[in-house]
Amino acid sequence: MANKKSKKVPYDVIAEAANGNPEAMAAAVRHYRGYMAALGIKYHDMNTETQGRMETRLMLAILQFKIKSDTD
Protein backbone atom coordinates (compact mmCIF):
# COMPACT_ATOMS: atom_id res chain seq x y z
CA MET A 1 0.00 0.00 0.00
CA ALA A 2 2.95 2.31 0.59
CA ASN A 3 3.80 2.15 -3.13
CA LYS A 4 0.31 3.21 -4.21
CA LYS A 5 0.38 6.59 -5.93
CA SER A 6 -1.72 9.24 -4.21
CA LYS A 7 -4.71 10.46 -6.21
CA LYS A 8 -4.87 13.76 -4.35
CA VAL A 9 -3.18 17.01 -5.28
CA PRO A 10 -0.82 17.98 -2.45
CA TYR A 11 -2.11 20.78 -0.20
CA ASP A 12 0.88 23.00 -0.93
CA VAL A 13 0.19 22.82 -4.68
CA ILE A 14 -3.44 23.87 -4.18
CA ALA A 15 -2.41 26.64 -1.77
CA GLU A 16 0.14 28.00 -4.23
CA ALA A 17 -2.35 27.78 -7.11
CA ALA A 18 -4.99 29.60 -5.05
CA ASN A 19 -2.42 32.32 -4.38
CA GLY A 20 -1.85 32.78 -8.12
CA ASN A 21 1.22 30.64 -8.82
CA PRO A 22 0.90 29.68 -12.50
CA GLU A 23 3.13 26.59 -12.25
CA ALA A 24 1.07 25.23 -9.35
CA MET A 25 -2.15 25.94 -11.25
CA ALA A 26 -0.80 24.09 -14.28
CA ALA A 27 0.17 21.14 -12.05
CA ALA A 28 -3.34 21.00 -10.57
CA VAL A 29 -4.95 21.13 -14.03
CA ARG A 30 -2.60 18.40 -15.32
CA HIS A 31 -3.50 16.26 -12.32
CA TYR A 32 -7.21 16.35 -13.18
CA ARG A 33 -6.95 16.09 -17.00
CA GLY A 34 -7.42 12.34 -16.97
CA TYR A 35 -10.53 12.66 -14.82
CA MET A 36 -11.94 15.37 -17.08
CA ALA A 37 -11.25 13.23 -20.16
CA ALA A 38 -13.03 10.29 -18.53
CA LEU A 39 -16.05 12.49 -17.83
CA GLY A 40 -16.09 13.62 -21.44
CA ILE A 41 -15.98 10.04 -22.68
CA LYS A 42 -18.70 8.99 -20.25
CA TYR A 43 -21.03 11.69 -21.52
CA HIS A 44 -19.85 11.44 -25.17
CA ASP A 45 -18.90 15.10 -25.20
CA MET A 46 -15.13 15.54 -25.18
CA ASN A 47 -13.60 17.99 -27.58
CA THR A 48 -11.16 20.86 -27.15
CA GLU A 49 -13.92 23.32 -26.32
CA THR A 50 -15.37 21.09 -23.61
CA GLN A 51 -11.92 20.39 -22.22
CA GLY A 52 -11.15 24.11 -22.14
CA ARG A 53 -14.39 24.87 -20.30
CA MET A 54 -13.72 22.16 -17.73
CA GLU A 55 -10.17 23.42 -17.14
CA THR A 56 -11.41 26.99 -16.80
CA ARG A 57 -14.01 25.97 -14.21
CA LEU A 58 -11.38 24.03 -12.28
CA MET A 59 -9.05 27.04 -12.24
CA LEU A 60 -11.82 29.37 -11.13
CA ALA A 61 -12.77 26.97 -8.34
CA ILE A 62 -9.16 26.75 -7.15
CA LEU A 63 -8.86 30.56 -7.13
CA GLN A 64 -11.91 30.74 -4.85
CA PHE A 65 -10.31 28.54 -2.18
CA LYS A 66 -9.75 30.33 1.10
CA ILE A 67 -6.36 29.20 2.38
CA LYS A 68 -5.90 29.87 6.08
CA SER A 69 -2.43 30.28 7.47
CA ASP A 70 -1.29 29.22 10.94
CA THR A 71 -1.60 32.84 12.08
CA ASP A 72 -5.29 33.17 11.06
Using CA atoms, how far residue 22 sits from 2, 12, 26, 43, 67, in Å, is 30, 13, 6, 30, 17
Domain membership of residue 40 (yes or no) is: yes
Q: Does residue 3 carry a pLDDT above 50?
A: no
Q: Say how many domains are in the chain.
A: 1
| pLDDT tens column, 10-42 | 999 999 999 999 999 999 999 999 888 888 777
Domain membership of residue 2 (yes or no) is: no
The structure's pTM equals: 0.75
Range of the domain at 37: 11-63
- Better-scored residue on pLDDT, 46 or 21: 21
Cα-Cα-Cα-Cα dihedral of 34, 21, 13, 52, to 10°? -20
